[in-house]
Amino acid sequence: EAGVVQSPRYKIIEKKQPVAFWCNPISGHNTLYWYLQNLGQGPELLIRYENEEAVDDSQLPKDRFSAERLKGVDSTLKIQPAELGDSAVYLCASSTGRTKGWTGELFFGEGSRLTVL
């Protein structure tokens, strides 16, 4: 079974340019998360989706960040315009929905490393 797939793995852009990251969760996982990880830190939640609905986006800087999960499967995270401080790893994770037997275990992708020059 395929894990969480993210692309691109690496992206280098100049400040003020736009950038987009894509995530394909594990098949059947209704819940999708985007996390931000700075060097030497633990991941911090940006947004959580239940199917196509963003149920927690309180930590997403909405002036420049946006996300979508139109059909409740793949998701895209966009930054426009990028700033120097956005250099970090953007991690996508997924888990099953809250049905009987739900464990709450999260599965992560390899991440997308962004460098803003």
Partner 1 sequence: KQEVTQIPAALSVPEGENLVLNCSFTDSAIYNLQWFRQDPGKGLTSLLLIQSSQREQTSGRLNASLDKSSGRSTLYIAASQPGDSATYLCATRGAQKLVFGQGTRLTINP
Residues lying near partner 1 in the complex (CB under 8 A): 4, 6, 33, 40-45, 48, 55-56, 91, 93, 103-111, 113
Nearer to partner 1 (CB atom), residue 2 or residue 71: 2
Maximum distance among all Cα pairs of the chain, rounded to whole angstroms = 47
CB of 111 to partner 1, least distance (A): 5
CB atoms within 10 A of CB 20: 15
CB of 81 to partner 1, least distance (A): 26
Burial label for 114, CB within 10 Å (0-12, 13-18, 19+), is buried
CB of 90 to partner 1, least distance (A): 11
